[in-house]
């Protein structure tokens, strides 16, 4: 990880820890929770672009596809809620553990473009699923992902 990436992650860590109080105010209200998570997803994913957050895992179809997409196997807005739950329960988490959270929840796999469209459509109709759970439902195989999710 570059020094610039680390600094950006550290700044986001400080921002997020300062937002835990607001999280506590909105987490039990579905409407406000969704607004909060949507509003705070971009900073999280702006800092997790690049090779450190690429699992280098690919779907079988992407290996021969012309059009490929880097797909977050956890949807961005859902991850914000997960991370704030963790920060709320573990206020002394520290930057190193925050980075591990980001590595686990914000990394990407490569899918064929048509697979990505299928997953997106499936998850819009089935919002209880994470993208990685939808892969199986959509017949998408990403070897090694199950080990990475542990």
The token pair at 61 is 């179809």
What does pTM read for this prediction? 0.86
pLDDT at 147: 85
Question: What's the pLDDT score for residue 99?
Answer: 94
1 pLDDT above the threshold of 80: no
pLDDT of residue 114: 93
CA angle 90, 15, 77 (to 5 degrees): 80
Q: What is the mean pLDDT of residues 55-84?
A: 91
SS3 126: coil
**CB of 35 within 8 A of CB of 80?**
no
Judge whether 56 and 142 are in contact, CB under 8 Å: no
pLDDT of residue 45: 79
> Which residue's entry shows tokens 């672009």?
49
pLDDT number for residue 91: 87
Residue 147 near residue 139, CB atoms below 8 Å:
no
Residue 47 near residue 99 (C-beta atoms within 8 A): no
Q: What is the pLDDT of residues 38-53, one digit of tens each?
A: 999 888 878 888 888 8
What local confidence, expressed as pLDDT, does residue 101 receive? 93
């Amino acid at each position: 990880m570059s020094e610039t990436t680390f600094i950006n992650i550290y700044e986001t860590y400080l921002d997020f820890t300062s937002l835990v109080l607001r999280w506590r105010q909105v987490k039990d209200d579905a409407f406000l929770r969704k607004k909060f998570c949507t509003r705070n997803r971009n900073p999280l994913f702006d800092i997790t672009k690049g090779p450190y957050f690429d699992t280098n895992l690919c779907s079988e179809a992407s290996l021969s596809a012309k059009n490929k997409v880097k797909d977050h196997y956890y949807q961005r807005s859902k991850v914000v809620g997960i991370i704030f739950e963790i920060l709320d329960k573990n206020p002394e988490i520290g930057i190193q553990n925050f980075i591990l959270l980001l590595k686990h929840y914000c990394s990407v796999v490569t899918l064929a473009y048509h697979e990505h469209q299928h997953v997106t459509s499936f998850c819009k109709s089935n919002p209880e699923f994470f993208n990685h759970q939808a892969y199986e439902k959509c017949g998408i195989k990403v070897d090694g992902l199950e080990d990475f999710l542990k």
